[in-house]
Amino acid sequence: MRTDTSNPPKDKTEGVSPEFFSIRTQLCWSIELRTNPMPPNPLPDEVLPISVCIIAGNEAHRIGRALSSVQGWVDEIIVVINQDVADGTDTIARQFGAKVYREPWKGYVRQKNSAAEKASRPWILGIDSDEAVSPALRASLTRALQKEAGQPQFAAFEFPRCSRYFGAWIRHGDWYPDYSKRLWARGRARWVGDEPHDSLQVDGRVGRLAGDLEHHSMESIEHQMRKTLRYAEVFANHCVQHDRKVGWSDLFFRPPLRFFRSYLLKRGFLDGWRGYAVAWTAAYYTFLRYFKALEAQGKIKVDRE
């Protein structure tokens, strides 16, 4: 089975004025900032030579958190939004001083590279609209760039990403520390990979920093299941396109091994019931991806009647 992944899922806003969504989401974000303000900034107001690059679809309900976490201490913010965005994401981004560009959706890798190509500062920080730079990470970034200004050593830096799951931060299992290369010297790295998974290919040494990149991706269990199924279908398509064969042993053995690794070897049990849920959903995702791959190869017959 092949799935078209050329466009991300769209919000159902047909027939409703874009101005309505813009006003509604701006008001909701204003209330969110009053209710859950960003932590006090412990650092001096030093502006770093960084271009923050974000790509976004209809993200008005959460992009404000990402922009608020970098506003005032980076030199440039660039937001590339999909051409059909109509929920006020562009308006919110401009309120935070971002340069906003509308472009047709080209896939995650090409869209991220397009945003990076628009950067004009010596360093580029790539974050998603559901992420936020913590004060501790900002402190690490500041110290790293101060050292690099005096004696350059690294072409890029990686740091841990910490995901929030139903009201708590996950600090064990498969989800943490989840080191991600997100800060790089302009011209020294490029996004590569197979949709929807991307990675940063760096030309040079990679340093490691302390401080978490906060990840707020979990909206509901239904959202998680839809995302899991979509990624499984993408994996199946990738196997077909690259002639990768999977077998029944993958379906039977990989899911329980994934649970064992996440819950026991990586101590997911220390996150309580959330760690248990993360381990099971990881195992379920592993089952789904190999089930869909076997189905795409014709080894699993589906009754369409």
Q: How far apart are CA 116 and CA 113, in angstroms?
A: 5
Number of Cβ atoms within 10 Å of the Cβ of 207: 18
pLDDT recorded at residue 45: 63
pLDDT recorded at residue 241: 83
Q: How far apart are CA 25 and CA 274, in angstroms?
A: 29
Q: How far apart are CA 82 and CA 79, in angstroms?
A: 10
Contacts of 141 (CB under 8 A, 6+ apart): 48, 50, 125, 133, 157, 183, 209, 211
Domains, in order of start, for the chain: 19-215 (3.90.550.10), 221-296 (no CATH)
Residues in the chain, pLDDT under 50: 1-16, 18, 20-22, 30-44
CA distances from 256 to 65, 226, 265, 279, 297 (A): 36, 21, 13, 10, 23
Per residue in 226-263, pLDDT (tens digit) is 888 988 888 888 888 888 899 999 999 999 999 999 99
CA distances from 1 to 238, 245, 297 (A): 11, 14, 8
pLDDT recorded at residue 40: 42
Q: How far apart are CA 294 and CA 14, in angstroms?
A: 37
pLDDT recorded at residue 299: 83
- Compute the Cα dihedral for 65, 60, 181, 169 and give only its sign: positive
Per residue in 63-110, pLDDT (tens digit) is 999 999 999 999 999 999 999 999 999 999 999 999 999 999 998 999
